[in-house]
Structure 1
Amino acid sequence: MSTSKRYRPCVLATCCLPWREDDSFAEDIFRRSVRHLIAQGIRDVYIFGTAGEGYAITDAQFDEITPIFLEETAADDVQGMVGLISLSLPTVIGRIERARDMGARRFQLSLPSWGTLRDSEMATFFRETCGRFPDCEFLHYNLMRTGRIVTGKEYGALSEQYPNLVATKNSTADEARLSSLMQDAPQLQHFITEGGFAKASTMGECGFLISFASTNLELGQAYYQAGHQGNFELLNAMHDELDIIAADLRSSVADSAHMDGAFDKMFCRLHDDAFPLRLLPPYAGITEEVYQRYVNDLQTKHPRWMPRPALS
């Protein structure tokens, strides 16, 4: 597919991490989950984002899980990306080095969040990641948890300096921010979540960062294609539908959990009954009671968004 951007237009999906009761990694469930995403047509996947608990994993877990992920995403048409979340820049650099030795060449960066980076500190961060590893590609995950949102103009300047900065992730529906991303950093592929994707699609080519629409991967990809192909009537109708689904999701879960992974593991469970809802401590996952309430609401109010086929 022809594109002027540095990363292909597509649906980008997280791969959540399943934990057993003793907090050990459930490799068999993880492999099955990654294979399911790929079999359902998702070709761009990543680990260790916020939903993938990248903030909580140890170096030992990073070294255990990364080669398994790379093995499962080794097909020619699949692009796997390794997330990097840490308060320590040397830890980020070390993880890139070790993942490179395993064969990884695509990485997802998040700014350190213990203290909001000043401009000069942000420049150092990108110099020591994108600049240090010119043979790798980097996507920047732009989220307020880090204390600052990188602007479209800042991305434009960074992308001129670093040709291997190829994409961004943004969870926003703010039109001014979306417009800046598209106009001030047009060479980057901007991945936008459900709420803002419909708006961003009217401004030009963008990627779809799938979240709660992953309950039905076929429909989630149809939403992306509607935006990518300029079918705005269908796009807006599906956007309105997804808005209602999001509101019902918030109502079902209420204040029982607050970490991204807690929600995404519910979506994983819909596709695989064996997928655990646990998060690494101290964070709390969704309880079975809340999960069943969510499933019942989805089945009753939005049955076409139930997965098909589900894994057993």
Structure 2
Amino acid sequence: MSKRYRQCILATCCVPWRVDLTLDETQFRAHVRHLIAGGIRDLYTFGTAGEGYAVTERQFDEITRVFLDETQIEGVQTMTGLISLSLPTIIERIERARDMGARRFQISLPSWGNLSDTEVDVFFRETCGRFTDCEFLHYNLLRTHRLITPAEYGVLAQRHPNLVATKNSTTDLERLRGLLTEAPQLQHFITEGGFAEAAMMGECGFLISLANTNLALGRAYFETGKRRDESFLKPVQRESAEIIAELLAFAKAEAHMDGAFDKMFVHLHMPDFPLRLLPPYAGVSGATMERFTRLLDGKYPRWSPAA
């Protein structure tokens, strides 16, 4: 079955905040250009790394305008992320972003409580079903208290032709296999931890996270996955797990949000890119950033930007 979205590397665009917590537009545009120059053609804003859960409506509009303006490049596809406890807020954001030209959106279930089956149906009806001229990727994460199963994705894909993709960070082999077999028309984007196994099972996309430290390595990991070469995939997967474990061991007490770590990966390439998050959430310190840089340079050199 042909996929509804192309097989590619999907990357988040982190948002740089000045000391007064306003958008640093210059840094943001430079970050987007860096990803595109590094061969990434599918970009999104406002995931967990992009602090989509924390921005105000004014910030959402401002960043969306800049993002859509900076990505008006042939071959580049964008998604606008939508994270909110309020479905009406999500609908209003879609409406405003559509007016700016956005046609692809990344949606997550509201996280105040575990949605029932009926409530899940309503959520997808009021997003995919309401905006039939748009395409939607569903971001499946535990923070929402409800993971969509592979079988449920199969039903939702039949019901909503404009549901085109998913993001899943799982490493569970049964779930990975289920995604590819029970909802084969969707493009499933998998992070470093599960991509090696998923790629051996069938076509999937690569949701790049840690490999942002070295985009050339990330591209090689993805292309090797397309060729199903385990001799390259497995060592990279193993190293990614080791790096994440070591990073969390010395940084987790200081920061716990995904965006804190993703901004570290950006900072490696752009030393002026701020590490702060919107409050009350904490980013990492400069000392932690330096320790992470030494870890890559000394122990995992091919993950370093200098490799």
Q: Identify the TM-score tier after normalising by the shorter chain.
A: over 0.9
Q: Give SS of 2:78's match.
A: strand
The one-letter amino acid paired with 2:194 is G
TM-score relative to the length of structure 2: 0.98
- For residues 1-312 of structure 1, the aligned pairs below 5 Å read 4-308=2-306
Most deviating of 121-130 and 300-309: 300-309
- Is 1:11–1:208's contact at 8 Å kept on the other side of the alignment? yes
Q: Which whole-Å CA distance do the structure 1 matches of 2:306 and 2:26 have between them?
A: 21
Q: Which whole-Å CA distance do the structure 2 matches of 1:76 and 1:136 have between them?
A: 19
- Is 1:80–1:106's contact at 8 Å kept on the other side of the alignment? yes
The one-letter amino acid paired with 2:279 is P
- Is 1:252–1:297's contact at 8 Å kept on the other side of the alignment? no
Q: Give SS of 1:280's match.
A: coil
Q: Which whole-Å CA distance do the structure 1 matches of 2:38 and 2:281 have between them?
A: 30
Q: Which whole-Å CA distance do the structure 2 matches of 1:121 and 1:214 have between them?
A: 36
Q: Give SS of 1:191's match.
A: strand
Q: Give SS of 1:225's match.
A: helix
Q: Give SS of 1:51's match.
A: coil
Q: Give SS of 1:131's match.
A: coil
TM-superposed CA distance for 1:172, in Å, is 0.7
Aligned-residue identity in percent: 63
Q: Which whole-Å CA distance do the structure 2 matches of 1:194 and 1:230 have between them?
A: 15
TM-superposed CA distance for 1:182, in Å, is 0.8
The C-alpha deviation readout for 1:249-283, integer Å capped at 9, x for no partner, is 22332421100000000001001011000000000
The C-alpha deviation readout for 1:198-227, integer Å capped at 9, x for no partner, is 111111000010111110000011011111
Q: Which whole-Å CA distance do the structure 1 matches of 2:25 and 2:140 have between them?
A: 29
Q: Give SS of 2:128's match.
A: helix
**Count of paired positions:** 307
Q: Which whole-Å CA distance do the structure 1 matches of 2:45 and 2:240 have between them?
A: 25
The C-alpha deviation readout for 1:34-55, integer Å capped at 9, x for no partner, is 0000001000010000000000
Most deviating of 223-232 and 10-19: 223-232
- Is 1:112–1:146's contact at 8 Å kept on the other side of the alignment? yes
TM-score relative to the length of structure 1: 0.96
TM-superposed CA distance for 1:308, in Å, is 4.2
Q: Which whole-Å CA distance do the structure 2 matches of 1:38 and 1:304 have between them?
A: 21
Which stretches in structure 1 are left out of the alignment for 5+ residues?
A: none
TM-superposed CA distance for 1:248, in Å, is 2.2
Q: Give SS of 1:149's match.
A: coil
The C-alpha deviation readout for 1:29-76, integer Å capped at 9, x for no partner, is 000000000001000010000000000001000111101100111112
Which stretches in structure 2 are left out of the alignment for 5+ residues?
A: none
User: Could you list the runs of 4 or more consecutive aligned residues of structure 1 that deviate by over 3 angstroms after TM superposition?
Assistant: none
